[in-house]
Amino acid sequence: MINQAKRQSRRVGAVLAAAIALLGIYVSTAAASQHGVRYDGRSLIINGKRQLLFSGSIHYPRSTPEMWPDLLGKAKRGGLNVIQTYIFWNGHEPLQDQYNFEGRYDVVKFVRMIGEMGMYATIRVGPFIEAEWNHGGFPFWLREVKNITFRTDNAPFKYHMRKFVRMIVDMFKREKLYASQGGPIIMSQIENEYANVERAFKDSGSRYIQWAGNMAERLKTRVPWIMCKQIDAPDPLINTCNGRNCADTFLGPNKPYKPSLWTENWTSHYTVFGEPSYYRTAEDIAYSVARWFARNGTHVNYYMYYGGTNFGRTTSSFSTTQYYDEAPIDEYGLEREPKWGHLKDLHRALKLSQKALLWGHPSVWMLTKDVEVCIYDQPRNNVCAAFLTNNNNDNVSTVKFRGHEYHLPPYSVSILPDCKTVVYNTMTVVAQHNARRLVKSRLAHWNLRWEKYREVIPTQLGYFSWKPKELYLLTKDTTDYAWYTTKIQVKKQDLGFPLVLEVASLGHAMLAFVNGEFVGSAHGSHDDKSFVLKVPIQLKPGDNSITLLGSLMGLPDSGARLEKRYAGPRGASIIGMKSGPIELTYNGWGHKVGLDGEDAQVYTENGSRRVRWTKLQKPGRALTWYKTYMFNPEGRNPVAVRMKGMGKGMVWINGNNIGRYWMSYLSPLGQPTQSEYHIPRSFLKRGRNLMVILEEEEGTNPEKIEILTVYRDTICSDTTENHIPEVKSWARKQGKILSVVNKVRAEARLRCPFQKRIVSVEFASFGDPYGTCGSYTRGNCSSPLSKFIIQKLCLGKNRCHVPVERQLFDRYQDWCPEVQKRLAIQVKCGY
C-alpha cells in the first residue's frame, strides 16, 4: 500500500516538475510586456509579475451598489486579491436591443470599484451562466428567435451570443478596464460548464465549443480566456476546475503550458425551497485549498465569497431568495466566523510560501501510508516550503520530517513556509467564532397597521384556445402568474357523489377556484417540477366556472435545450359525476397574464392608491395583497423581515421587490427552508416605508410578521494551550521565517465589528469547558480567575489578545495539572 502511494506521489511530482520546467519558455515572453496577462505551466503572469491569486465570487446584482464598497473591503481584508463575477445577460438586455446598466446592473461601476480597491477582476461573460439565476442568464426573448437552439452549432444562437459578448467586451475596452489597458480585468470566461451539454449535442456541441473559444480570442482583449470543466477547451483558452476538492479530482490543464486554475471552490451550496440548508466547514474548505496549492495550484476562487440576495424574480426554478448565506460573508454582508478568519489566515500562510510556490522545484512523497509531503524548494537561494498532509480522517499522525517531530490532526494540512516552522494547520482554527442574532425592531413595529386588498378571481376570460396554453410562453418572464378559466354545465341528476377536480401540471405551483371560491392548491419541487392537483369540489346545477392560477418559481437554469422546457397545466378533469368523468383539457380555455394588483402596481405609492384597501380580517383569504407602513429600524445594522404567519408570495419595500418567500413548504426537518428575508438599508428611507405583500395562500396573518435588525456581535474564541500561534506572528525577512512578536504563543484573539467594543463577558473558562459558541458549559475544572482576567484584558476594547497560559490563569493553584487546558470565551460587542 505504501509502495503504491509512493509510486503515485512520484508521478505527481514528475508532473509538477515538468510543468515547472516550462517556465523559462513563457516567462521571457510575458516579461516583455508591462501591461497585460500571460501564463505558463506554473501561473498567470500579470504585468510581468507572478503572484498567488486568491479570488472570491461576488455578484453585483445580488447586492446593492451601496453595499459594494463594504463587501469589497471585507474581501480584501480577508486576503483576496481577485473578485470574480458573472455577466447577467437577461438583466442587461431584458428586451431585445434595450439595455440596462444602471443600479444593481452597473457592472462598469462595480469593476472600476474593484480596481480602485487594488484588486483584480475575473469576468465570466458566459453568456450562459447557470448560477441558480433565472433562465441561466438568457433573456426570454431569445427563446422566441426563429429556429434557435441554445448552446450548440446553431446560426441564430451564435449570432446573438456573439453580438452580446462583443458588446460587453467593447464596453470594457472603452472604459479601459482590461489589465492590458491598465485596468483590473485579468481573465474572462466564455461559456460555462458545457461538458454535459456537449455530450447531448455530440458533434454539433464539439463544433460549437471550438467556435466559442475562437470567437472569444478574436475579440483581442489581451488577457486570457478560460473555460471551466472543459477538457477540450481550444488553445489558447485555459480549461479550469470547479468542485469541492480539485486537488484530487482535476485531471489538469489540457496542455502542459497552461496553469492549474480553480474557478469554483464551493464554500457551501445553494438552497432550494423544501430542502434543508447545506453547511461546509471552514476546516474542510481550508484543507481543499491547501492541498490545491500543494499540488501546483496558484489560483483559487471561492464560490461564493458573498452570495447575497436573489431580488425580485431572479432565481432559477425553486431556488431560495437567499443565496449562499453560509459563505465567508453572509447574505447581510456580515463576516461569518470562523470561515472568514480561518481562510484569511490560510491566505497569509500561503503568501509566506509564495516565492517557493512560484519558483521552487516540486517533489512529493509519502512519509507513511496516511501522510504525504509536498515540497517546493530552491536550494541555491535557501527557499523552501512544505505541506504535510494527514489523509486519515480519524487519527492524529505523528511524523518526523527533516529532523523535527510534527503532530498532524486528522484530515489536515500543515503549512511550513521554511520547511521547518508550522504557521498554519487547516484543522486548527485560531480565528474567532461568531453567531448571528436577529432582534425585533421596536421602531419598525411602532403603530404598525395592516390593510388588505383581494384579487378579483376571474370566471370567464378572453384570449381563447381549446386547451390551456403553455405557462412559460404565456407569461414571457414578465410575471410569475397566469389565469386559466373554463366553464361547464352540470345537470342536477349528475350530482350526488363526491367530486374531485384533478389537474396535471408540468410546474411549478397552482391554485384552483370553483365559482370564484378557493378550493385548493398544489406544487412541484426542485427535483420533480410536475405534479397533480387533486381537490374535492362542489358544483351547482347549471353553469359552473373552473379557474386555475398557474404560478412559476423561476425559469430553469441548466441542461440542454432550455428553449424547449415547458410548464403549466397539461390536462384537467372532474371525477365523480354520475354520468362519468368530465374531461376538461379540450373544453376551451380563456387566459390572462398577471394579476390585477401587478397591473396597478399596488406595491408602489401611486399604485397603492388605485385600489381600495380594507381593514384586516382573519384569517386571510387566498390571493390577497397586504399593505402597511413601517418606520426605518433603529441603528445601522442590516434589516430583515421574518415572514411568520405567512404562506407563499412576494414582498415589496417602497416598490422594490425583495424576492419570493415560501414559508408553508417545509423541509424534511419540519421548518421552512428560509424564514428571514433581507431588506437592504438602501431600500429604506427616513420616516415611513411602504411594505406590500402578495400572499397566495389561505389562513395567513401578516400581523405575525417581524421586522428585525441583524447582528454578529456575539463573538467567541476557543483555544488550547497547544494551539498554533496566529499566523500573523510570523513574517519572511531576509529569506527566513522569523517571529514578529515578543513571544510566540497560543493566544485567544477577539475582534468586534467596526466601531463596536466589548461590553460584557458572557462566558469564560480556562480548564476543560465544552460546547460551542453560544452554548459553552464549564467542565470538571475551571480556573476561578477566568472571567475576571478576560474582563480586565478585554472590556471596553475593540479587540484583545489573551495568552492561553497556566501562569496567567492558574497563578495561585492549578486545579487540574494533568489536563490539557482549553480557554473558551464568549463576549458581547456593542456601542
Does residue 697 fall inside a structural domain?
A: yes
Cα 186 to Cα 46: distance, rounded to the nearest angstrom: 7
Does residue 523 fall inside a structural domain?
A: yes
Give the CA-trace dihedral at 334, 340, 344, 345, to 10 degrees.
130
Q: Which three cell numbers stand for residue 584?
A: 376538461
Each residue's pLDDT tens digit, 551-605: 999 999 999 999 999 999 999 999 999 999 999 999 999 999 999 999 999 999 9
State the sign of the Cα–Cα–Cα–Cα dihedral 60, 63, 64, 67: negative
Residue 613, Cβ density class (10 Å: 0-12 exposed, 13-18 middle, ≥19 buried): middle
Q: Between 811 and 335, name the one with better pLDDT.
A: 335
Cα–Cα nearest to 315, from 94, 62, 595 = 62
Residue 344 in contact with residue 80, Cβ under 8 Å? no
- For residues 675 and 770, membership in a common domain is answered with no
Give the pLDDT confidence score for residue 702 in this predicted structure: 97
Helix (H) or strand (E) run with residue 473 in it: helix 471-475
State the sign of the Cα–Cα–Cα–Cα dihedral 148, 150, 155, 157: positive
Cα–Cα nearest to 672, from 134, 334, 273 = 273
Cα 802 to Cα 392: distance, rounded to the nearest angstrom: 32
Each residue's pLDDT tens digit, 426-440: 999 999 999 999 999
- For residues 529 and 573, membership in a common domain is answered with yes
State the sign of the Cα–Cα–Cα–Cα dihedral 767, 772, 777, 779: negative
- For residues 307 and 450, membership in a common domain is answered with no
Phi, psi angles (nearest 5°) of residue 507: 125, 165
Cα 529 to Cα 523: distance, rounded to the nearest angstrom: 8
Range with the poorest average pLDDT among 107-121, 453-467, 668-682, 742-756: 742-756
Residue 16 has pLDDT above 70, yes or no: no
User: Mean of the pLDDT values across residues 260-284?
Assistant: 96
Cα–Cα nearest to 232, from 254, 252, 250 = 254
Q: Given 287, 312, 336, which residue is the final one in a domain? A: 336
Residue 539 in contact with residue 497, Cβ under 8 Å? no
Residue 628 has pLDDT above 60, yes or no: yes
Residue 323 in contact with residue 308, Cβ under 8 Å? yes
Range with the poorest average pLDDT among 114-128, 345-359, 805-819: 805-819
- For residues 163 and 246, membership in a common domain is answered with yes
| E-state strands within 244-367 | 260-266, 297-306, 361-366
Give the pLDDT confidence score for residue 200 in this predicted structure: 95
Cα 99 to Cα 107: distance, rounded to the nearest angstrom: 12
Cα 301 to Cα 83: distance, rounded to the nearest angstrom: 8
- For residues 155 and 202, membership in a common domain is answered with yes
- For residues 661 and 808, membership in a common domain is answered with no
- For residues 513 and 608, membership in a common domain is answered with no
Each residue's pLDDT tens digit, 193-225: 999 899 999 999 999 999 999 999 999 999 999
Q: Which pTM was predicted?
A: 0.95
Give the confidence band of 54 by pLDDT, cuts at 50, 70, 90: very high
Strand, helix or coil at 474?
Answer: helix
Does residue 727 fall inside a structural domain?
A: no
Q: Between 620 and 622, name the one with better pLDDT.
A: 622
For residue 618, the tally of other CB atoms under 10 A from its CB is: 10
**Pairing label, strands 185-190, 225-228:** parallel
Place of cell 464551493: 266
State the number of CA atoms in the 13 A half-sphere of 656 facing the CB. Answer: 19
Residue 227 in contact with residue 237, Cβ under 8 Å? yes
Does residue 660 fall inside a structural domain?
A: yes
Average pLDDT, the chain: 94
Cα–Cα nearest to 80, from 119, 124, 117 = 119
- For residues 791 and 682, membership in a common domain is answered with no
- For residues 146 and 204, membership in a common domain is answered with yes
Each residue's pLDDT tens digit, 511-525: 999 999 999 999 999
Total number of domains in the chain: 4
Q: Which residues are catalytic?
A: 193, 264
Place of cell 411549478: 508
- For residues 673 and 763, membership in a common domain is answered with no
Give the confidence band of 733 by pLDDT, cuts at 50, 70, 90: confident
Residue 260 in contact with residue 298, Cβ under 8 Å? yes
Give the pLDDT confidence score for residue 620 in this predicted structure: 87
* Residue 624 vs residues 251, 520, 693: alpha-carbon distances, Å: 54, 15, 8
Q: What is the CATH number of the domain that holds 622?
A: 2.60.120.260
645 Rama class: left (phi>0) / alpha (psi -120 to 50) / beta = left
Helix axes 339-352, 282-294, angle to 10 degrees: 20
Cα 733 to Cα 361: distance, rounded to the nearest angstrom: 21
Residue 148 in contact with residue 142, Cβ under 8 Å? yes
- The C-alpha angle 620, 626, 628, rounded to 5 degrees, equals 130
Q: What is the largest CA-CA distance in the chain?
A: 101
Residue 12 has pLDDT above 60, yes or no: no
Residue 21 has pLDDT above 70, yes or no: no
Q: Which three cell numbers stand for residue 436?
A: 448571528
Give the pLDDT confidence score for residue 741 in this predicted structure: 85
Phi, psi angles (nearest 5°) of residue 24: -60, -30
List CB contacts of 37: < 8 A, sequence separation 6 or more.
Answer: 44, 45, 46, 47, 179, 180, 186, 187, 222, 223, 224
Buried-state track 782-807, b at ≥16 Cβ within 10 A, e below 16: bbebbbebbeebbeeeeebbbbbbee
Does residue 358 fall inside a structural domain?
A: no
User: Mean of the pLDDT values across residues 656-676?
Assistant: 98
State the sign of the Cα–Cα–Cα–Cα dihedral 86, 87, 90, 92: positive
Cα–Cα nearest to 748, from 789, 803, 827 = 803
Does residue 328 fall inside a structural domain?
A: yes
Residue 341 has pLDDT above 60, yes or no: yes
Q: Given 660, 686, 710, which residue is the final one in a domain? A: 710
Cα 472 to Cα 451: distance, rounded to the nearest angstrom: 32
Give the confidence band of 33 by pLDDT, cuts at 50, 70, 90: very low
Cα 661 to Cα 315: distance, rounded to the nearest angstrom: 12
Does residue 674 fall inside a structural domain?
A: yes
Give the pLDDT confidence score for residue 557 in this predicted structure: 97
User: Among residues of the chain, what percentage have pLDDT more than 90?
Assistant: 91
Cα 635 to Cα 398: distance, rounded to the nearest angstrom: 51
Give the pLDDT confidence score for residue 34 in this predicted structure: 65
Q: Between 470 and 734, name the one with better pLDDT.
A: 470
List CB contacts of 483: < 8 A, sequence separation 6 or more.
Answer: 458, 461, 547, 548, 549, 550, 590, 591, 592, 593
- For residues 91 and 239, membership in a common domain is answered with yes
Place of cell 350530482: 495
- For residues 814 and 687, membership in a common domain is answered with no
User: Mean of the pLDDT values across residues 396-424?
Assistant: 96
Cα–Cα nearest to 185, from 32, 82, 73, 300 = 82
Each residue's pLDDT tens digit, 220-253: 999 999 999 999 999 999 999 999 999 999 999 9
List CB contacts of 403: < 8 A, sequence separation 6 or more.
Answer: none
Cα–Cα nearest to 130, from 302, 312, 306, 319 = 319
Give the confidence band of 307 by pLDDT, cuts at 50, 70, 90: very high
Q: Which domain holds residue 786?
A: 746-830
Cα–Cα nearest to 169, from 230, 87, 93 = 87
Residue 448 has pLDDT above 70, yes or no: yes
Question: What is the layout of strands, in order, in the sheet containing 542-551?
Answer: 517-523, 509-514, 542-551, 481-490, 590-593
Give the confidence band of 23 by pLDDT, cuts at 50, 70, 90: very low
Strand, helix or coil at 503?
Answer: strand
Please name every residue paired with 242 in a beta bridge, in sequence order, or none if there are none. 264
List CB contacts of 233: < 8 A, sequence separation 6 or more.
Answer: 209, 213, 226, 227, 239, 254
Does residue 201 fall inside a structural domain?
A: yes
Q: Which three cell numbers stand for residue 562?
A: 432550455
Q: What is the CATH number of the domain that holds 760?
A: 2.60.120.740
Strand, helix or coil at 484?
Answer: strand
For residue 314, the tally of other CB atoms under 10 A from its CB is: 25
Place of cell 472543459: 230
Give the pLDDT confidence score for residue 19 in this predicted structure: 44
Residue 264, Cβ density class (10 Å: 0-12 exposed, 13-18 middle, ≥19 buried): buried
Please name every residue paired with 799 in a beta bridge, in sequence order, or none if there are none. 751
Q: Given 587, 606, 628, which residue is the final one in a domain? A: 587
List CB contacts of 380: < 8 A, sequence separation 6 or more.
Answer: none
Q: What is the CATH number of the domain that holds 264?
A: 3.20.20.80
| E-state strands within 667-785 | 676-679, 688-695, 706-720, 730-733, 736-739, 747-751, 757-767
Residue 28 has pLDDT above 70, yes or no: no
